[in-house]
Structure 1
């Protein structure tokens, strides 16, 4: 089945080629009288010929369209690169912020945990012996203030 399709399309392309050759073999892309006039001039060169038969205008139009296409592709390319860079920066910033928050929390716990434990230990020791008096509470607060633990 597959080979029959290949043979069919091959025959179709060959037939299309013969058809186009038959149509275009007598077609003059340039007016023969215009070409004869250009060739009869003394300064007959390729640039002069292209200008006179209009081919230079065609090339200029194609180059202009190509330039516009490249310009549009550049604009869309810049927008795409910017969007991807912003997304990557957002993900990286989130990752770094999470890491910094974890490190800062650990440092704060390591810095403040000993003072919290000392304060709680002193209060448990003082209050486990009975109801503390105002002077005992004031003594505890002054001890904590001296150590910088009363925060």
Structure 2
């Protein structure tokens, strides 16, 4: 059974192509990102503007009209039907000490809004300073340590709302 591909154009037009239909596509490359396509004896000039290979999304221009196209194969469709989204990550709500050490600096306070990659604190462990950056945008809910505290591995350091 040939693989099927679900295409979504501008999140409004959806259709399915299989491998057999793709093999019969009359397309000729006309540069690195440009193609000349014949469909039912109609010529189309197609250009790929942007690509996101991980999300399988593309911005294409067809005869000077721009479209957003998402492509999913059989596996992508199965994963989606199971309620699993590719590329989604778990939201981090707490920072815990990865090793025993000494808190050298706490750069944030409770209630403070932080941006992703903003410094939170510095932990000294094995004579090395380890900077902890915020894993996400958020608000600091609680800080369980102070400058000068010794901490154990797995101990809660900072919690997000």
Superposed pair shares fold, TM > 0.5: no
TM-score by length of 2: 0.18
User: If each structure's strand is expressed as a fraction of its own residues, which one has the higher value?
Assistant: 2
What TM-score, normalized by structure 1, do the two folds share? 0.18
Highest relative contact order (Cα 8 Å, sep 6+), 1 or 2?
2
Asked which structure has the greater CA Rg, the reply is 1
